[in-house]
Structure 1
Amino acid sequence: MSISGSLSSALSGLTAAAKAAEVVSSNIANATTAGYSRREVITTARAVGQTGQGVSIVGVRRHVDPVLLADRRRAEATEAERVARSSFFQRLEAAIGTADSAVSLGGRIAEFDTALLEAASLPDSEARLARVIDTARNLASQIGGAAEAVQTARAEADDRIEADVDLLNRTLAQISELNGNIRATYAGARDPSALIDQRQQLIDSIASVVPLREIARDDGQIALYTTGGAMLVDGQAAVFGFDPAGLVTAEMSIGAGSLSGLTLNGRPVATSGSDSPISGGSLAAHFEVRDQLAPEAQRELDALARDLLERFADPAVDATLAPGQAGLFTDDGGNFLPADEAGLAQRLALNAVVDPRQGGGLWHLRDGIGATTPGLAGNAAGLVALHAALTSARTPASGPFMAGARSFAALQGDLLSGCVSDRLTAETEAGYAAARAEALTQLELAAGVDTDQEMQSLLLVEQAYTANAKVIQTIGAMIDTLLGL
């Protein structure tokens, strides 16, 4: 090989070694950086005619397992969906209260039951009658508070939908812009790895919102689709539309036009069911909480409130009541109309006639809501009838309860049992989804940067650099010798 050929080979080796050292150093520095993929310099032999002339740098390869990456993203979307469902059922159970809760609906019922029994045993005691009023008020407040917690969960779900939509729109626009930057970088024969890493981080940031499918395009570009088939990025970025409601009440729904659905590029899309293109992530879960899970819980609480109200509005329980007149409990102070059951749990209130705070008299508990004058102080018949109304078996007039007559406490137990069962199922599913997502994340990390291996590679790069530098140094010495002759 000629001196010029040797010098060319050594210089190309130095260039390749310098690039390799740069890449290895980047790998080590970013070993724990989210979204970073290990790089490797790809080289090939360079020849002029039949003579070798060193090496050429072909490019920098990113090591990514597309199958593992896709599985991990789908697992994160599933985890986000299951966690959102689990959180709602945990919140509902806390609002209703379990047996070990400091304050629970079951406890309020038991207190009311006991207060009625104590008052019936001593009907002339105003203290015991006042205890009945306090426990009845607490019971109505507990039911209303649980229903308020449900509507608060709906309002928060509406807010989170807005946040998810904003994140999607902003991120998809950035991914589309990066696609263009990566294409331009390829056209300029530059390394786009840093831009591709940045794009991967952006995709990962929305992977839990909707399940994604990534498709490679020319010049390093990608297209993004949901697993349900909706186009998110393919050249241009898609745009989601959503109008937040702010305040959410029991009567509001998509069907009534009082709550917003979801649009994609101006066209409505299903947010649930097999036809939904977004099912499987946090966005779909928030819609499910707002439009299905919370309304179902509200209907159960409304049915529970109706059963309580109607138990004490029966003339067979209180002979002083006129047909249709409110009994011990009222619909916001008035008579209850079955057509207005939605939101009844929040409107359930103690009858002002028996409440001294509202100008009523305690004696009405003993003598009847419709009584005009106090009766015998020792007459316990009315209080006994009230207790019987609470504990007697009655078939609920509404609600998704199992058929059959039951006491009010048993009806509340059915509601709580269903909530606990839903919560346990949701927690199990969320735990499994979280474990799967973590396992896939660890597999992805294991296939990433191995710092020990990178340090060994760096030693080899240094040796190659030293060898090429030695060749150049030797050639320089030879030239100096020749010039000195």
Structure 2
Amino acid sequence: MSILNNALSGAVASQLALSASSQNIANLQTKGYTRQSALLSAVAPAAGSSQAGNGVRVTELMRFSDSYKTQQMWRSASDLGTHSQTQPYLTQLEKVMGDDTASLSSGVDGFFAALNSVAGVDPTSTPLRQQVVTAAGLLAQRFNSMNNVYNAQLQSVRQQRSALVDSANTTIASIASLNAQIANANATGSNPSALIDARDQAIDSLASQMGLEVSDQPDGTRNVSLKTGQSLVLGGVPGKLSVSGGAAQTFSLTFAGTKFELDTTRAGGQLGGLSVYEQDTLLPLQQGVAEMAQQIADKVNTQLQAGYAMDGSAGKPLFVYNPGSTSNMLQVADGYQTSDLAFSGDGKPGDTGNLQQLVAIKSQTITMAKIGTVLISDADTQLVGRLAVDSQQNKGALKTAQTMRDQAVADWQSTSGVNQDEEAVHLVEYQNMYQANMKVMSVANALFDATLQMMG
């Protein structure tokens, strides 16, 4: 009987719809879960038949997914990753370089203040001369401490990038594997929704590490490439990132036996953000401090060599500049004595002619590659000011990126997320549908029994 068949199909369809709603409710708090719904369609009657129809069937279990919103969420993850990883480094440098008790400016001021004290009292005073040597040592220590901060950050940035490469390779392999499973599920008629959710979560994670371009394929797979064009995943085939070169890191991507060199400053995401920070902020700051140390040392040493020590001998260099040194970039010459300070301009112990020239060095200029020509007294302030601008710009970009990410996630949730109230309504609707079809089946059985009795 067509009535019985219709009711049976309705009961089965409502059970499948209830199953989809129950799955949605079960995953109400599951991150990245995309809600599903049974898509019902009427079964048409056979050709030439006078029947109303042959019931209902579930055409497919539909995923509520918007490709544009998903892509927007991945792009916002990349932008957020670019700025979020660099801000802690910028904040640390701001605190260190802006600290009056540890800044280069206070060290420079202290050294020239010690020279002024000698000039204003007695150029032959051993305690005052000792203050100059001590202040020179403290100044050198300030430069070395700052250089150590830069080196520590460089090491941390490079270690973090290496860790990102290892993590990205694991994610890339996972995406390729899930692509293969999804293609197989689609080919065999299985429901791949859970696999698709897992893959999209993996892509979202990878997008925070580097900028991506993602394209959908007819078999349900997704191809993933860097925004610079190099393929990371094609169907079920993964690429592999690698880093080499020791301290001077170089990055490459190997795909299908071909190796491509990568410029990570263009990579986007966390990897790109760290590389841009190293290239545009950290290394220039370190270079600026090194240039400042070298030129101050050269000017002071040159002026001391133009004067005379306490015993009338030619002056000796006070500072030793060691380019490339990780711990002693600047230091006071070994064995330097207070009597070696060449304050006299004419060879007489009480003369201050050369000392006055030493004091005047603070008002002279030095040239730094990224800043230009500045007064020695202003050099550190210029470096700190440039750092502050970089930090403020990154903070602003980070705030914008976080807002965009939050909005993108909210937009995705509005389409793909589970709404508890909506699912509660569906449960009632499909329950009523099931009960109504069971009632139809009961009526059909009664009619069938009545028919049999009449025939008997």
Provide TM-score, normalisation by structure 2: 0.86
Write out aligned runs for 1:400-479 (5 A): 400-403=370-373, 406=375, 408-447=376-415, 448-477=417-446
Shift of 1:30: 2.2
Distance 1:8 1:158, change over 3 A: same
Write out aligned runs for 1:347-358 (5 A): 347-354=329-336
Write out aligned runs for 1:199-210 (5 A): 199-210=199-210
Contact 2:241 2:251 in 1 (8 A): no
Q: Which residue of 2 aligns with 1:107?
A: 106
- Percent of aligned pairs with the same amino acid: 23
Shift of 1:33: 2.3
Contact 1:305 1:345 in 2 (8 A): no
Alignment pair present for 1:23 and 2:20: yes
Q: Which residue of 1 aligns with 2:218?
A: 218
Q: Which residue of 2 aligns with 1:79?
A: 80
Contact 2:104 2:139 in 1 (8 A): yes
Q: Which residue of 2 aligns with 1:264?
A: 254
Distance 1:127 1:7, change over 3 A: farther
Shift of 1:352: 2.4
Query: Which letter maps to 1:399?
Result: A
- Supply the distance in 1 between the matched residues of 2:21 and 2:128 (Cα, whole angstroms): 82
Give unpaired runs (5+ residues) of structure 1: 254-258, 333-340, 355-360
- Supply the distance in 1 between the matched residues of 2:42 and 2:121 (Cα, whole angstroms): 105
Shift of 1:10: 1.8
Write out aligned runs for 1:61-460 (5 A): 61-98=62-99, 101-123=100-122, 126-235=126-235, 236-243=237-244, 245=246, 248=247, 253=248, 259-265=249-255, 266-271=258-263, 276=266, 278=267, 280-315=268-303, 318-320=306-308, 327-332=317-322, 341-342=323-324, 346-354=328-336, 361-365=337-341, 376=349, 383-389=355-361, 391-396=362-367, 398-403=368-373, 406=375, 408-447=376-415, 448-460=417-429
- Supply the distance in 2 between the matched residues of 1:133 and 1:11 (Cα, whole angstroms): 99
Distance 1:343 1:298, change over 3 A: farther
Query: Which letter maps to 1:59?
Result: E
Shift of 1:60: 0.9
Distance 1:215 1:425, change over 3 A: same
Q: SS at 2:197's partner residue?
A: helix
Distance 1:110 1:295, change over 3 A: same
Distance 1:16 1:135, change over 3 A: farther
Query: Which letter maps to 1:267?
Result: K
Query: Which letter maps to 1:348?
Result: L
- Supply the distance in 1 between the matched residues of 2:449 and 2:115 (Cα, whole angstroms): 114
Contact 1:140 1:350 in 2 (8 A): yes
Contact 2:303 2:354 in 1 (8 A): no
Shift of 1:240: 1.5
**Per-residue CA distance 1:51-74 (angstroms, 9 max, x = gap):** 422211111111111112112211
Contact 1:95 1:145 in 2 (8 A): no
- Supply the distance in 2 between the matched residues of 1:77 and 1:414 (Cα, whole angstroms): 32
Query: Which letter maps to 2:261?
Result: V
Q: SS at 1:103's partner residue?
A: coil
Shift of 1:205: 0.9
Shift of 1:385: 4.0
Q: SS at 1:190's partner residue?
A: coil
Contact 1:45 1:56 in 2 (8 A): yes
- Supply the distance in 2 between the matched residues of 1:109 and 1:435 (Cα, whole angstroms): 43
- Supply the distance in 1 between the matched residues of 2:127 and 2:301 (Cα, whole angstroms): 24
Shift of 1:238: 1.4
Contact 1:143 1:345 in 2 (8 A): no
Shift of 1:477: 5.0
Contact 2:307 2:342 in 1 (8 A): no
- Supply the distance in 2 between the matched residues of 1:452 and 1:435 (Cα, whole angstroms): 27
- Supply the distance in 1 between the matched residues of 2:290 and 2:144 (Cα, whole angstroms): 9
Contact 1:366 1:381 in 2 (8 A): no
- Supply the distance in 2 between the matched residues of 1:153 and 1:171 (Cα, whole angstroms): 26
Shift of 1:394: 2.6
- Supply the distance in 2 between the matched residues of 1:327 and 1:171 (Cα, whole angstroms): 57
Contact 2:294 2:321 in 1 (8 A): no
- Supply the distance in 1 between the matched residues of 2:306 and 2:326 (Cα, whole angstroms): 22
Shift of 1:267: 2.0
Q: SS at 1:314's partner residue?
A: helix
Larger mean CA deviation between 118-127 and 206-215 belongs to: 118-127
- Supply the distance in 1 between the matched residues of 2:240 and 2:218 (Cα, whole angstroms): 23
- Supply the distance in 1 between the matched residues of 2:6 and 2:353 (Cα, whole angstroms): 111
Shift of 1:79: 1.8
Larger mean CA deviation between 463-472 and 117-126 belongs to: 117-126
Q: SS at 1:306's partner residue?
A: helix
Shift of 1:455: 1.2
**Per-residue CA distance 1:4-40 (angstroms, 9 max, x = gap):** x222222222221111112112222323322111211
Contact 1:158 1:244 in 2 (8 A): no
Shift of 1:366: 6.4
Shift of 1:456: 1.2
- Supply the distance in 2 between the matched residues of 1:386 and 1:81 (Cα, whole angstroms): 46
Distance 1:239 1:325, change over 3 A: farther
Shift of 1:223: 1.4
Q: Which residue of 2 aligns with 1:56?
A: 57
Number of aligned residues: 440
Distance 1:264 1:23, change over 3 A: same
- Supply the distance in 2 between the matched residues of 1:82 and 1:290 (Cα, whole angstroms): 13
